Amino acid sequence: MEAKDVSSAGDDAALEPSRPRTFIKDIVRGATEELVGRKVVVGGWVKTGREQGKGSFAFLELNDGSCLANLQVIVDAAVHPLTQLVPTGTCVLVEGELKKPPEGAKQNVELKVESVLEVGPVDPAKYPLPKTRLTLEFLRDFGHLRARTNTVLIRQFLLWELDYLRFVYSYFVSVEATLRMSVTRERVDDGRLPKEQTQSEVLEALRCAGIGDI
């Protein structure tokens, strides 16, 4: 299956995967014996990439933001041009089979790519986030890319966990704005919260929707 470069194409440029995408966190945290042999589709950004075997294949460290750990991905040159995949920051969607790595490897499982579905290439000379350790002062200038760094990702995971524990131990229910809009959508044609609707009316609508007492 030939991959398409989506850097300058429309939404219809992506090839349709044969199965739903799997988060990397579900792979690295799973039992090795249950994962080996499974066919999966994974996507994310290349943290590091290097060609091996005189350019016959490449190792990619892929991260999708679902956890701090990376998934090692192996791509043969016959599957896709390696020069498009190895630069740090490249966005890819790949499909392949999970395999057990050689004895002594750090990873419990790795992905042998059978097809590259999407590639969002980057220019290595212009991509602002190299593999080296970056200071917070440096990251301030690249707000749209900070979430790809481990420093910011760790902070965000910690905030999510603390927020979750606060709600659990305080018996709170977190209701997102999208849920409130969906509850009132039957009463408002454009889906926006009407000005005359009071807080008690919103809570009552949520109870009717099965949310329970808040």
Q: How confident is the model at residue 199 (pLDDT cuts 50, 70, 90)?
A: low
Question: Domain check: are 88 and 114 in the same one?
Answer: yes
Mean pLDDT across the stretch 171-185? 54
For residue 71, being part of any structural domain is answered with yes
**Same domain flag for 34 and 71:** yes
Q: Is residue 128 part of a domain?
A: no
Whether 126 is in a domain gets the answer no
pLDDT at 195 over 80: no
Count of domains in the chain?
Answer: 3
Q: Are 17 and 39 in contact (CB under 8 A)?
A: no
Residues 14 and 78 in one domain: yes
- Split at pLDDT 50, 70, 90, the class of 2 is very low
* Backbone phi, psi, residue 11, to 5°: -65, -20
Domain presence at residue 90:
yes
User: Is residue 129 a contact partner of residue 142, using CB atoms and an 8 Å limit?
Assistant: yes
Whether residues 112 and 144 share a domain: the answer is: no
Domain that holds residue 149: 136-169
Same domain, 149 and 70: no
Assess if residue 16 is contained within a domain. yes
**103 and 76 in one domain?**
yes
Q: Report pTM.
A: 0.61
Q: Is residue 214 part of a domain?
A: no
143 and 71 in one domain? no
User: Would you state the pLDDT for residue 83?
Assistant: 93
> How far is it, in rounded angstroms, from Cα 21 to Cα 40?
7
Is 23 within the bounds of a domain? Answer: yes
What pLDDT score does 186 carry? 47
Residues 55 and 10 in one domain: yes
Is residue 101 domain-shared with residue 29, that is, in the same domain?
A: yes
pLDDT given for residue 34 in this prediction: 87
| 165 and 181 both lie in a single domain | no
